[in-house]
Amino acid sequence: MAERMEHKEAIDGLENARSYALSIGKYAGLMYGNMIKNIEGLNISGRYLEMGSGPGFLAMMIARRKPDSEITAVDISPDMIAVAEEFIREKQLEKRIHCLPGDVGDEQFMRKLGTFALVYTTFSLHHWKDPDVSIRNLWDAVQPGGALYILDFRRIEWLCSLPVKWGELDSFRAAYSAQEIEAIFRRTGITSFQIRTSFPYFLQTVIARKGHGLSAVPATGQITEITSCTI
């Protein structure tokens, strides 16, 4: 397995944040389509928390598909939050999506947010300075009967070793293997979860439900690898 490298990415400045939003906006449906289906399959209504919300595209997509949900969208970049609020106002969703700047690793900040029926994050895990602390904070934010949903890249030997200069490869090189994620969850004290890898194989999903067994987590898509722990 390729050795994991650190990769921290922060987008500062309104213009940089807007440029980033425009660059990924056209691919939002492709990036998040399967995830939204999975979230719908969890059949969870109520308050949602999105960590690492970026320009707010996923929050808006979920708000439209789940009209009974209220979403708190948090990103570490105040400039990205400002851009997200612009898009959210444009779509007239500001009454259902509330944006805040904040750090998933800040225990005090996370506690002030309260608890949620669903806590989810996308393409952020590989950026976190201390994943054990961050995942513990996310798990504490899940109310009884709720769920934690994490989507991120998967570190793959052949992909990480490609001799090309491509910025996104740094994200793959910083990603965790399923075994490393399992170890993080064990250290965090989460004892019932699934790690799923499906097409296109360099993405993986982690789902944990608080107070429910693995049977409560629906299987969707072609699963090529499952790492699970139930105690």
Give the tens place of pLDDT for each residue, 118-174: 999 999 999 999 999 999 999 999 999 999 999 998 876 545 555 545 456 677 678
* Whole-angstrom distance, CA of residue 41 vs CA of residue 51: 20
pLDDT of residue 156: 66
Kindly tell me if the per-residue pLDDT of 108 is higher than 80. Answer: yes
Kindly tell me if the per-residue pLDDT of 195 is higher than 50. Answer: yes
Q: Which CATH superfamily is domain 14-230 in?
A: Vaccinia Virus protein VP39 (3.40.50.150)
pTM for the predicted model, two decimal places:
0.84
Instruction: Let me know: does 169 contact 162? Beta carbons within 8 Å.
Output: yes
Instruction: Let me know: does 156 contact 202? Beta carbons within 8 Å.
Output: yes
pLDDT of residue 221: 31
pLDDT of residue 226: 42
Kindly tell me if the per-residue pLDDT of 187 is higher than 80. Answer: yes
Kindly tell me if the per-residue pLDDT of 216 is higher than 60. Answer: no
pLDDT per position as a tens digit, 17-72: 888 888 888 888 878 888 899 999 999 999 999 999 999 999 999 999 999 999 99
